[in-house]
Amino acid sequence: MVEVRIPISVSEAVKRIQAEAGMLGSEFVPLEESYGRILAKPLVAAHDVPSFDRSPYDGFAIRSKDSAGASGTNRVAFEVVDHIGAGAVSGKKVGKHQAVRIMTGAQLPQGADAVVMLEQTQESGAAADAEGAAISAAFTIRKPFEAGENISFRGEDMSSGEEILPAGSLVHPGTIALLATFGYERVEVAKLPVVGILSTGTELLEPGSALQPGKIRNSNGPMIAAQLRRMGVRSRMYAAAVDRLDDMLETVRQALTECDCLITTGGVSVGDFDLLPAVYEQLGANVLFNKVAMRPGSVTTVAVLDGRYLFGLSGNPSACYTGFELFARPALLSMMGAERVYPMQTQAVLGEDFGKANPFTRFVRAVYDGRSVRPAGFNKSNAVSSIGRGNALIVLPGGTRGFKTGDTVDVLLPGMEEGSSVWTL
């Protein structure tokens, strides 16, 4: 009466999915629009940074040897021969007991090999230099400086030709700073996948509809669109008469001509109105698995056809949310050649008991505050409240009999901008 499905582990499921990821190619986008994209090429330093020896402080550029012997009782005087801001280059060469007044970021003038910070100096109107000659616009110092003191050397941050970030890095605000530093106006990034969403379920109403007996509004479609948006990917919505196999089949076929990946919700179980298994069969899709040893979402099915993914997520909201983050997001990131495709994983102390035992790995929607983590309320696979209230997923290994307050548990952080390059669960 019931189709027997053999569950595979979450790790095995992830492995099978990742093995199928094909690359999408690259495109150029303006620097201002590159935030959130994936670098298609390594970011290589186009020049030394700094590109010249410069002063990290407001102060005076001097020749260090002229400061020899300076002390509190033997202040040494310097004559100020030029005065430059950042961006300017002094035309003067610093000579004996001469100094150039210099601002933070300014290029070190010729002849100088040290910078005296402004607060290390004392103004002195007319003075005598070490040899007793009269000088004007002068200052004195009371300690000797070493060659190279208070200088940001050319190339100390980055050397020309050095690989700073590998291909596959997420473009975050710090990456933008690097790209701007090297003068990129356009950035070569991975193309974004086109992702279709088809919510199936004979009980579904659209968000704006009035509630009807026995029906619920479609929350999975908009939720997945937002999960995609969180990773910078736009989606297309599809609709089908979900109780008619021919219409479902036609819609899925159409979506696969327009999308790199189709995410369906619902219809993957063994109920009499779950048509997706038949759709996969009729399409001739390669079903990678149709059961995973996890809760929620054990009926999650993933298939591949002509290099395109078909993610059959559970229609239960919590299962759907979790299935997207565990399976769809890493696959989409791999299609973009990303380095860190898996959710960021950490550990935290459980803030309350979790008594439920389970033979399967359990993913619990949870609230993580940086130290401890607690389930985000009502915990059933069809729960909606806990997805809305949570910001994390607790991972409880299968074969366990519940957990106690104070236990250390694994936690996934789907809300981290960039995740992990390894799957260790």
Q: Does 126 bind a second copy (CB under 8 A)?
A: no
Q: Does 229 bind a second copy (CB under 8 A)?
A: yes
- From candidates 29, 167, 194, 216, binder to a second copy by CB under 8 A: 216
Residue type, 183: G
Tokens 């299962």, located at residue: 319
Q: Does 358 bind a second copy (CB under 8 A)?
A: no
E strand or H helix at 295: strand 294-295
- What gap in Å lies between CA 69 and CA 56, rounded to an integer? 24
Specify the long-range contacts of residues 355-360, CB closer than 8 Å, at least 24 apart.
355/402, 356/402, 357/400, 357/401, 357/402, 358/295, 358/396, 358/398, 358/400, 359/293, 359/398, 359/399, 360/7, 360/293, 360/294, 360/295, 360/298, 360/398
- Name residues contacting a second copy, limited to 29-68 (CB under 8 A): 31-32, 35-36, 43, 47, 49-52, 56, 58
Pairing assessment for the beta strands 114-117 and 98-102 based on DSSP bridges: unpaired
Mark the segment that binds a second copy (CB under 8 A) among 129-137, 203-211, 249-257, 284-292.
Answer: 203-211
- From candidates 69, 177, 257, 355, binder to a second copy by CB under 8 A: 177
E strand or H helix at 388: helix 385-389
Beta bridge partner(s), residue 366: 375, 392
242 versus 285: smaller Cβ distance to a second copy: 242
- From candidates 67, 227, 265, 361, binder to a second copy by CB under 8 A: 227
- From candidates 245, 384, 423, 425, binder to a second copy by CB under 8 A: 384
Q: Does 313 bind a second copy (CB under 8 A)?
A: no
- Name residues contacting a second copy, limited to 129-168 (CB under 8 A): 152, 156-158, 164-165
Residue type, 362: R
- Name residues contacting a second copy, limited to 86-125 (CB under 8 A): 86-89, 101, 103-107, 118-119, 121-123
Three-state DSSP class for residue 401: coil
Mark the segment that binds a second copy (CB under 8 A) among 17-25, 91-99, 220-228, 251-259.
Answer: 220-228
CB of 166 to a second copy, least distance (A): 11
Q: Binding-site residue total for a second copy (CB under 8 A)?
A: 115
Q: Does 2 bind a second copy (CB under 8 A)?
A: yes
164 versus 252: smaller Cβ distance to a second copy: 164
27 versus 418: smaller Cβ distance to a second copy: 418
- Name residues contacting a second copy, limited to 397-416 (CB under 8 A): 413, 415-416
Q: Does 387 bind a second copy (CB under 8 A)?
A: yes
20 versus 243: smaller Cβ distance to a second copy: 243
32 Cβ contact list (under 8 Å, min separation 6): none
User: Rounded to whole angstroms, what are the CA distances from 354 to 6, 96, 253?
Assistant: 27, 76, 43
User: Rounded to whole angstroms, what are the CA distances from 92 to 33, 75, 81, 109, 149?
Assistant: 43, 25, 8, 7, 20
Residue type, 262: L
Contact assessment for residue 59 and residue 115, using Cβ atoms and an 8 Å cutoff: yes
CB of 131 to a second copy, least distance (A): 25
- From candidates 18, 358, 391, 400, binder to a second copy by CB under 8 A: 391
Q: Does 344 bind a second copy (CB under 8 A)?
A: yes
- From candidates 76, 326, 383, 409, binder to a second copy by CB under 8 A: 383
Q: Using CA atoms in the order 318, 301, 412, 352, what is the torsion angle rounded to 10 degrees?
A: 40
Count of residues making up the chain? 425
- What gap in Å lies between CA 54 and CA 85, rounded to an integer? 11
Which runs of consecutive H residues, i.e. helices, occur in 211-275?
A: 220-230, 245-258
Backbone dihedral angles phi then psi of residue 336, each to the nearest 5 degrees: -95, 5
Tokens 């005065």, located at residue: 83
Task: List the one residue out of 294, 337, 284 whose CA is nearest residue 318.
Answer: 294
Q: Does 305 bind a second copy (CB under 8 A)?
A: no
304 versus 327: smaller Cβ distance to a second copy: 327
CB of 206 to a second copy, least distance (A): 9
16 versus 215: smaller Cβ distance to a second copy: 215
Q: Does 332 bind a second copy (CB under 8 A)?
A: no
Q: Does 238 bind a second copy (CB under 8 A)?
A: no
Q: Does 276 bind a second copy (CB under 8 A)?
A: no
121 versus 301: smaller Cβ distance to a second copy: 121
